[in-house]
C-alpha cells in the first residue's frame, strides 16, 4: 500500500532534501579548486548553481506548509548520513569523487524525489509536485552528464576495481544511514566543516603552464587589435574564469553562515564563470589557439581564498579585479568592432553584462553586511588597497560605485 504523505511528513522530508542539496552544493564548491579534470570543474560551476536553486525552491515550499521556523529549513537526515557525506567529501581523487557524487548521492536524491512524487496527495499538494518534478529531472541530468566523464577517468586512472569497491561501500553506507529520507533514524546532530588547508594555487591539468614568477607575467599588456593579442588575452582570461568558479565555490563551502541570498549570488556567479570558461575556450580555439599555448599566472589566488572574511575576498576580486576586467572588456569590444570581428564582439558583450553584476555582488554584500560595523567596512575596503599598493592598478571607488548602483 502506498499511503499519501501528510502535511507534517512532507515538511520533514522537504527539510531533509534541502539539507542534502546544500551539502552537495558545498561539496562541489570545496572540490572545484582541487579537481583536475576541466570538464568536471566547469560542471561543478553549473551544478553548484542548480543545486542552490533546488534548495531555494524547496525552501519556498516549506513555509507554505506551515514550517515557518528556521529549524524546518535544514534537517540532517541522520548522523550516519552526515558521516557518509563527510567520507565522500574527503575522497581525494577525481574519479572517486565523481563516482560518489554522481553514481551514489545524486541518484539517491532523485530516487527519493521520485518516490515522494508517488506519495503525494493530489491535487492538494500539487505545489510540491511542481517543485520535486523539476528538481528530480535536473538531478537525473547531472548523473547522466557525469557518466562519460567517469568512464573516461576510469580508463585514464586504471582504477576500475577500486571504483567498483568504493561504489559498493558507499551504497551500503547509504542504505545503513536511512538514505536521504533518514528512514528508521533520528534526525542528525553531527556536522562537519568543509575547511581547506592554506592554498597557494588551484589545480590545473597538464596542458597548463602556471608561472611561478608573477612579476614577469605580462599577458595583460597585449592589445585586442591583433591576432596574437587576442590569443594572449583570451588565454589569460580563460584561466581567470576557472579561478573565479573555484573562488566562488570556496566562499560557499568556507562560510555556511552567510545570508542565503548571498549564497544564491555566489552560486550564480560560479555558473556565469563556468559558462565564460566554455565561451572563452571556444573562441580561443576558433581563432587557432589552444589551452596551454602560453604561460599563465594565478597571482591573486593566494591573497583571495586564504582570507578569513568573505567580504575581503569580494573587495579584492569582485570589486577590484572584476571591475578592472570590465574596463578591459569594454576596450576589447571597441577593438573587435573596429576590426569587424563581430563574433568576438558579441561574445564579449555577453561576458561584460555578467561581469558588471559580479562587481555589484561585491558592492552590495559589503555595503549590506558592514552597514552597522564601520570597523569591518574600513578593514575590508583597506585590504585590496594595502595588498595592491604600487603593484597593480586599483580601480574602484566604493562610495562612487554604491551611488551608481543606487541611482
Ligand atoms: Fe567571467
Ligand atoms: Fe566575473
Which residue shows C-alpha cell 562587481? 359
| pLDDT at position 218 | 87
User: How many Cα neighbours within 13 Å face the side chain of 124?
Assistant: 9
Report the separation in Å between the CA atom of 391 and the middle of ligand 2, taken as the mean of its atom positions.
22
Q: Which ligand is nearest to the CA of 247?
A: 2
Cβ atoms 149, 85 nearer than 8 A: no
271: closest CA among 361, 385, 159, 389? 361
| pLDDT at position 400 | 54
Cell numbers linked to 285 = 580555439
Q: What backbone torsions phi and psi does residue 35 show, to the nearest 5 degrees?
A: -95, 135
C-alpha to C-alpha distance for 108 and 181, rounded to whole angstroms: 10
C-alpha to C-alpha distance for 359 and 315, rounded to whole angstroms: 9
| pLDDT at position 196 | 85
| Exposure b/e, 299-333, CB count within 10 A at least 16 = b | bbbebbbbbeebbbbbbbbbbbbbbbbbebbeebb
Report the separation in Å between the CA atom of 293 and the middle of ligand 2, taken as the mean of its atom positions.
23
Cell numbers linked to 316 = 579584492
Report the separation in Å between the CA atom of 271 and the middle of ligand 2, taken as the mean of its atom positions.
10
Report the separation in Å between the CA atom of 74 and the middle of ligand 2, taken as the mean of its atom positions.
30
Q: Which ligand is nearest to the CA of 269?
A: 2
Q: Which ligand is nearest to the CA of 355?
A: 2
Residues, the chain: 407
Classify the phi-psi angles of 340: left when phi > 0, otherwise alpha if psi is within -120 to 50, otherwise beta.
left
| pLDDT at position 395 | 43
Q: pTM for the complete prediction?
A: 0.95
Report the separation in Å between the CA atom of 40 and the middle of ligand 2, taken as the mean of its atom positions.
19
Q: Is the four-CA dihedral 238, 241, 242, 243 of positive or negative sign?
A: positive
DSSP state of 4: P
Report the separation in Å between the CA atom of 334 and the middle of ligand 2, taken as the mean of its atom positions.
20
Report the separation in Å between the CA atom of 333 and the middle of ligand 1, taken as the mean of its atom positions.
15
Which residue shows C-alpha cell 529520507? 181
DSSP state of 294: S
For residue 152, what are the contacts with CB-CB under 8 A and spacing of at least 6? none
220: closest CA among 232, 212, 208, 209? 232
The domains located in the chain, with CATH, are 7-176 (1.20.1260.10), 214-406 (1.20.1260.10)
Q: Which ligand is nearest to the CA of 242?
A: 1
150: closest CA among 134, 162, 138? 162
DSSP state of 258: S
Which residue shows C-alpha cell 580555439? 285
Cβ atoms 311, 365 nearer than 8 A: yes
Q: What backbone torsions phi and psi does residue 212 show, to the nearest 5 degrees?
A: -90, 0
- DSSP state string for 151-183: HHHHHHHT-HHHHHHHHHHHHHHHHHTTTTTTT
Report the separation in Å between the CA atom of 101 and the middle of ligand 2, taken as the mean of its atom positions.
27
Report the separation in Å between the CA atom of 301 and the middle of ligand 1, taken as the mean of its atom positions.
15
Report the separation in Å between the CA atom of 273 and the middle of ligand 2, taken as the mean of its atom positions.
6
Cell numbers linked to 296 = 599563465
Q: 10 Å Cβ neighbour count for 373?
A: 12
| Exposure b/e, 233-248, CB count within 10 A at least 16 = b | bbbbbbbbbbbbbbbb
Report the separation in Å between the CA atom of 345 and the middle of ligand 2, taken as the mean of its atom positions.
17
Q: Which ligand is nearest to the CA of 351?
A: 1
152: closest CA among 37, 282, 278, 285? 37
Q: Terminal CA-to-CA distance of the chain, rounded, Å?
A: 60
C-alpha to C-alpha distance for 55 and 216, rounded to whole angstroms: 44
180: closest CA among 312, 40, 12, 389? 12
Cell numbers linked to 290 = 589552444
- Protein residues placing their CB within 5 Å of the ion ligand 1: 241, 273, 276
Report the separation in Å between the CA atom of 264 and the middle of ligand 1, taken as the mean of its atom positions.
17
Mind listing the pLDDT tens digit of every residue in the chain (407 residues)?
A: 468 999 999 999 999 999 999 999 999 999 999 999 999 999 999 999 999 999 999 999 999 999 999 999 999 999 999 999 999 999 999 999 999 999 999 999 999 999 999 999 999 999 999 999 999 999 999 999 999 999 999 999 999 999 999 999 999 999 999 999 999 999 999 999 998 899 999 999 999 999 888 778 888 889 999 999 999 999 999 999 999 999 999 999 999 999 999 999 999 999 999 999 999 999 999 999 999 999 999 999 999 999 999 999 999 999 999 999 999 999 999 999 999 999 999 999 999 999 999 999 999 999 999 999 999 999 999 999 999 886 654 444 555 555 544 44
Q: Which ligand is nearest to the CA of 321?
A: 2
Amino acid at each position: 500500500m502506498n499511503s499519501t504523505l501528510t502535511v507534517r511528513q512532507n515538511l520533514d522530508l522537504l527539510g531533509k532534501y534541502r539539507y542534502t542539496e546544500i551539502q552537495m552544493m558545498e561539496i562541489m564548491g570545496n572540490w572545484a579548486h582541487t579537481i583536475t579534470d576541466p570538464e568536471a570543474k566547469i560542471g561543478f560551476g553549473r551544478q553548484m548553481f542548480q543545486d542552490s536553486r533546488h534548495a531555494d525552491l524547496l525552501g519556498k515550499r516549506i513555509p507554505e506548509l506551515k514550517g515557518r521556523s528556521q529549524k524546518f529549513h535544514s534537517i540532517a537526515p541522520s548522523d550516519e548520513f552526515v558521516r557518509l557525506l563527510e567520507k565522500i567529501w574527503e575522497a581525494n581523487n577525481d574519479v572517486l569523487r565523481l563516482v560518489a557524487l554522481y553514481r551514489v548521492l545524486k541518484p539517491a536524491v532523485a530516487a527519493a524525489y521520485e518516490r515522494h512524487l508517488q506519495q503525494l496527495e493530489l491535487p492538494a499538494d500539487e505545489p510540491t509536485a511542481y517543485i520535486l518534478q523539476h528538481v528530480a529531472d535536473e538531478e537525473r541530468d547531472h548523473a547522466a552528464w557525469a557518466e562519460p566523464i567517469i568512464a573516461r577517468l576510469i580508463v585514464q586512472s586504471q582504477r576500475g576495481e577500486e571504483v567498483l569497491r568504493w561504489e559498493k561501500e558507499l551504497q551500503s553506507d547509504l542504505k545503513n544511514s536511512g538514505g536521504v529520507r533518514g528512514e528508521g533514524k533520528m534526525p542528525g546532530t553531527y556536522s562537519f566543516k568543509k575547511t581547506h588547508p592554506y592554498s597557494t594555487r588551484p589545480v590545473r591539468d597538464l596542458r597548463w603552464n602556471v608561472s611561478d614568477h608573477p612579476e614577469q607575467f605580462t599577458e595583460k599588456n597585449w592589445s585586442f587589435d591583433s591576432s596574437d593579442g587576442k590569443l594572449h588575452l583570451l588565454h589569460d582570461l580563460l584561466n581567470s574564469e576557472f579561478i573565479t568558479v573555484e573562488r566562488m565555490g570556496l566562499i560557499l563551502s568556507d562560510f555556511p553562515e552567510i545570508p542565503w541570498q548571498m549564497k544564491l549570488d555566489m552560486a550564480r556567479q560560479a555558473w556565469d564563470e563556468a559558462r565564460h570558461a566554455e565561451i572563452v575556450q571556444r573562441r580561443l580555439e576558433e581563432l587557432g589557439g589552444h589551452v596551454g599555448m602560453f604561460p599563465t599566472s594565478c597571482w591573486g589566488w593566494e591573497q583571495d581564498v586564504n582570507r578569513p572574511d568573505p567580504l575581503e575576498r569580494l573587495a579584492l576580486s569582485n570589486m577590484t579585479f572584476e571591475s578592472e576586467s570590465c574596463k578591459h572588456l569594454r576596450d576589447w569590444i571597441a577593438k573587435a568592432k573596429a576590426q569587424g570581428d563581430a563574433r568576438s564582439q558579441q561574445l564579449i558583450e555577453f561576458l561584460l553584462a555578467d561581469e558588471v553584476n559580479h562587481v555589484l555582488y561585491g558592492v552590495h554584500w559589503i555595503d549590506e553586511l558592514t552597514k552597522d560595523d564601520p570597523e569591518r567596512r574600513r578593514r575590508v575596503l583597506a585590504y585590496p588597497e594595502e595588498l595592491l599598493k604600487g603593484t597593480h592598478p586599483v580601480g574602484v571607488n566604493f562610495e562612487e560605485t554604491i551611488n551608481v548602483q543606487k541611482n
